[in-house]
Amino acid sequence: MAQIFGRGADTWFRLVLWGAVLAVVAFFLLVGGYVRSDWRTEVGHAPEQPVPFSHEHHVGGLGIDCRYCHTSVETAATAGFPPMDTCMTCHSQIWTGAPMLEPVREGYARDVALRWIRVHDLKDFAYFDHSVHLSAGVGCETCHGRVDRMPLIRQVAPLTMQWCLDCHRDPAPALRPREAVFEMGWRPPADRRTQGQDLIEAYGIEVGNLDTCYVCHR
């Protein structure tokens, strides 16, 4: 009987098969690496704003409290952006002719708000409530980093689903007393987990329900 396949056919078949397997594995590794990369999660992202507002100067240098500009952070889902009145409370007296503040002066005169670019921008399918997190003892710097050291705000956390779930399933290490949620550079006690567990009980946090789908997807 004539031989249909050559003597090397079996070797070539094995090489092609292994090549296909390796290609599939490499594809999933690349996709997984891309999804977790800073390029995809935008860690380090610092978009250009209409005015180069420096949190380092205003928060770190002048000691302005977060709530002075983000007035709704304790009572609403969004922290809110400051109206022109807030900016002009100071800048009608100081730096009145600074070129970089021209958009502020113009917006105030025309009663038009600045179009700030949101840095920490969750997708529409994810629900997040600032007031709930603050009430539970989650500090601003837990998600936003040391803004008092940032000339321009940048994203420091990946804000991925896994990142959120890690905290929701084990929130104790991330909690602090409510009176310290706005404090930059807060130093936790040596046994932070014990304190966290005490705060979970004191604040009535139901950890068992924090990783259910409807908490974030409504």
Residue 184 · residue 61 · CB < 8 Å: no
**Stretch 36-58: mean pLDDT:** 85
Give the per-residue pLDDT at 153. Answer: 95
Does residue 155 surpass a pLDDT of 80? yes
Give the per-residue pLDDT at 8. Answer: 67
Rg of the chain, C-alpha, whole Å: 25
Tell me which DSSP letter residue 151 carries: S
Does residue 2 surpass a pLDDT of 60? no
Give the per-residue pLDDT at 26. Answer: 77
Please state, in angstroms and rounded to a whole number, the distance separating the CA atoms of residues 141 and 73. 14
Kindly report the number of other CB atoms within 10 A of residue 175's CB atom: 27
Task: Lowest mean pLDDT of 4-8, 20-24, 107-111, 214-218, name the range.
Answer: 4-8
- In degrees, rounded to 5, the angle at the alpha carbon of residue 72 between the alpha carbons of residues 125 and 56 is 95
In SS3 terms, 62-128 reads as: CCCCHHHHCCCCCCCCCCCCCCHHHHHHHHCCCCCCCHHHHHHHHHHHHCCCCCCCCCCCCCCCCCC
Does residue 5 surpass a pLDDT of 60? no
Does residue 218 surpass a pLDDT of 90? no
Confidence of residue 38 (pLDDT cuts 50, 70, 90): low
pTM for the complete prediction? 0.80
Any idea where the domains of the chain sit in the sequence? 10-41, 67-81+118-216
Confidence of residue 25 (pLDDT cuts 50, 70, 90): confident
**Stretch 12-19: mean pLDDT:** 81
Task: Lowest mean pLDDT of 119-123, 173-177, 192-196, 197-201, name the range.
Answer: 119-123
Name the residue with tokens 């002075």: 68
Does residue 198 surpass a pLDDT of 70? yes
For the segment 71-115, what is each residue's pLDDT rounded down to a tens digit?
Answer: 999 999 999 999 999 999 999 999 999 999 999 999 999 999 999
Give the per-residue pLDDT at 21. Answer: 86
Q: What 3-state DSSP class applies to 175?
A: strand
